[in-house]
Structure 1
């Protein structure tokens, strides 16, 4: 894959910002436009460019509920919403409520997505050739909601409902998806229940300086609940942040995903992207099983400036026992820089360059750390 994944986000910062968080589009909140004792509304102007989308623009906001606060981690309930349109006629609308109840003893985490999005597909497997690349158009409605209970000592456990409706509206003539042999090549509905468990001791979520984050998810999609296929998904995400002296940090992540049953291609484990496998297009390789292991060294040479270097390796496979063949591993190496936007808030601009094998590479510009 010889295209670069270049994302540029322009944001007009205000002098007074109540809080920030990171989302998949690497957007931060800005410009307080309404405030009272009970809420604060912050506007989000958005603009970016990628080779896949060309110029994209939009906006949104974040509503902070000032009376609904997690007293354990000093985090506020909020509702994030955004809308983005691109010159390639792609549309993305997202709404993400995160609500704390009982002063943080209970947590509701929900997400709605409407996406009209042309994408790229190379087939299924760990060694799909570049010449397989084809474009397909897809419209997605997705909704999930999780209800978690805080347990003692930074533990959280809860249940989740997932729903996704993928409508493939256009495929490339004589392409892989046009054959109809790929599960999900016409329409896929994913619906089911799941369980979530996490252990979180990080000092902050956007750019941790120390602590641990361990998460395990189990998701069960059933035809009894409306799914077009029945399958199960298990995700394990393990992260550690180890300070080295006063200015340096080593960050580690091990991510694994395993799917069992009749899995449509939209739900397969996807290798690549700006967070888990920098240097590869997101979804460049897809299959039922995947692991990614990455390590990053971060050196804060000035109070508001950090340099980093990272290395990662991983792969996808139909069966876990096919992992760890040297010829199949997909490594990547890279470096980058960070700039702290506000002196008193731990929010950072991030620039990374990642280089994989076989011409794969990527440039990433966004907010906060990759993991």
Structure 2
């Protein structure tokens, strides 16, 4: 479980000291850019998790509109780097970039990290006994290069490269896990295509709109992959304004794969986006269906910068599409606080607490979970 705090925001207001510290904080939380001009912010983070000890890092966010035209959608590039006191490290990069007049849409993410992965097993009902700890280097590069084929509708190729190497599968002393496919390291390249409908204008804080993605990926030894498998991803999100400040949002996510799927590329329940509160991969299998709903106050009626959210969801994993069972559905829910980081661009910093059967999980990120 990871608890992350913004070190800079913790010292704002009357407690901030004079000099460069105060100037840095004011620069971080203020938004003085003109409409259409790019914005960039960088701020430190501090965290702790039992498997990593103390973690320090830097988060940054770059926002812009193609050709500086406010008619174009808001594009975002997020970066996060971290280092732990146990010599673990990582670099994350996420992008949602819209071209001029939406002619092109680039949607993707990059991950490089040496970070422990907890492995509980595969299946919808694995026990909560001590997990194995997989210590490895991990690379992920996933990108969709989409061309507009009609208003708000995009289609194009998708590539996904994932590699796990320098792997150590460390078993707990009193419980032995069967080592899964890929536990000694794996490298896989997937090629496919994605069809996306997207009429959102602000990806990080959608107040009204719809996003739907249907994609297919095939990983094959002919591509240089260690394993051959294929599957379909489905992601549907809808956003409905209830009042000027209130938004009701929901999401349905599906992951349906067949073949020899390595353990790190199975459907992973949990994380910062969906099923918050569960450790990423607490339950994993070849197939997953998940759904969540969230009510957001952006901001509260009594504040110009502070907002909040309540959310609830459920998910289930299964080895086959016909193997889903209602008794294996796992619930989650939680609450969150919001801080208006970019006033002119309507971007919030979120701190969420998700509650599950396994206990709470804490998340702090720029932008909403979905």
Provide the rounded CA distance (Å) in 1 between the counterparts of 2:78 and 2:243: 36
Offset from partner CA, 1:2-44 (integer Å, 9 cap, x none) = xx4322234540644659xxxxxxxxxxxxxxxxxxx978462
1:135 matched to which residue of 2? 133
**Counterpart contact for 1:113–1:141, Cα < 8 Å:** yes
1:237 matched to which residue of 2? 235
Provide the rounded CA distance (Å) in 1 between the counterparts of 2:198 and 2:245: 23
Offset from partner CA, 1:322-355 (integer Å, 9 cap, x none) = 2242x31100122222222243221112122221
**Aligned mate of 2:216, from 203, 215, 218:** 218
Provide the rounded CA distance (Å) in 2 between the counterparts of 1:64 and 1:115: 25
- Of 113-122 and 78-87, the range deviating more from structure 2: 78-87
2:4 matched to which residue of 1? 7
Any residues of structure 2 matched to 1:278-357 within 5 Å, and which?
A: 278-299=276-297, 300-302=299-301, 303-325=304-326, 327-357=327-357
**Counterpart contact for 1:215–1:238, Cα < 8 Å:** yes
Tell me, yes or no, if structure 1 residue 250 matches structure 2 residue 251.
no
Shift, 1:135, TM fit: 1.1
Provide the rounded CA distance (Å) in 1 between the counterparts of 2:179 and 2:221: 20
What SS does the aligned partner of 1:171 have?
Answer: strand
Which ranges in structure 1 are unaligned for 5 or more consecutive residues? 20-38
Provide the rounded CA distance (Å) in 2 between the counterparts of 1:278 and 1:66: 31
Tell me how large the CA RMSD over aligned residues is: 3.0
Pair 1:175–1:263, CA change in 2 (3 A)? farther
Pair 1:64–1:337, CA change in 2 (3 A)? closer
**Counterpart contact for 1:229–1:263, Cα < 8 Å:** yes
Offset from partner CA, 1:297-327 (integer Å, 9 cap, x none) = 22343243333221111111112222242x3
1:58 matched to which residue of 2? 57
1:26 matched to which residue of 2? none
Any residues of structure 2 matched to 1:167-186 within 5 Å, and which?
A: 167-173=165-171, 181-186=179-184
- Of 93-102 and 188-197, the range deviating more from structure 2: 93-102
What SS does the aligned partner of 1:345 have?
Answer: coil
Provide the rounded CA distance (Å) in 1 between the counterparts of 2:254 and 2:54: 33
Pair 1:306–1:224, CA change in 2 (3 A)? same
What SS does the aligned partner of 1:129 have?
Answer: coil
Pair 1:41–1:176, CA change in 2 (3 A)? farther
Give the number of aligned pairs.
347
Which ranges in structure 2 are unaligned for 5 or more consecutive residues? 9-24
What TM-score results when the alignment is normalised by the length of structure 1?
0.83
